[in-house]
């Protein structure tokens, strides 16, 4: 089994105003985006070519939106941002870039 292309743990995953998990996992593996609970059960998954990832307007840098199977999920990936003064992009930006790279839409 190949190494996942992107993995983030401790992710808050929500749908509209409802929180689905506060310590979930987002993974891009073998051409699929998977949203998982903290226990590893699947919330939703889709081929990465069918996923739309973006940043919401007027939101902190740790937030991202993911549209899968006609549903919009809000992701808070802030727990994995680099420490102050450390180089590296915020986790939300890395997630969006990973979705674009895996789907072949460029980075």
Distances (CA, A) of 25 to 5, 17, 94, 95: 13, 19, 14, 12
Q: What is the pLDDT of residue 61?
A: 83
Q: Which residue has the higher pLDDT, 31 or 87?
A: 31
pLDDT in tens, 29-58: 999 999 999 999 999 999 999 999 999 988
Q: Is the pLDDT of residue 107 over 80?
A: no
Global confidence as pTM: 0.84
Mean pLDDT calculated for residue range 61-90: 78
| 3-class secondary-structure state, position 63 | strand
Mean pLDDT calculated for residue range 53-68: 90
């Amino acid at each position: 089994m190949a190494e996942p292309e992107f993995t983030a743990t401790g992710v808050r995953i929500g749908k509209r105003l409802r929180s689905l998990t506060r310590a979930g996992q987002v993974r891009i593996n073998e051409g699929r985006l998977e949203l998982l609970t903290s226990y590893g059960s699947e919330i939703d998954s889709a081929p990465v070519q069918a996923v739309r990832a973006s940043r919401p307007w007027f939101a902190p840098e740790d937030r991202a939106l993911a549209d899968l199977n006609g549903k919009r999920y809000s992701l808070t990936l802030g727990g994995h941002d680099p420490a102050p003064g450390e180089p590296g992009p915020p986790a939300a930006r890395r997630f969006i870039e990973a979705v674009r790279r895996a789907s072949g839409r460029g980075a």
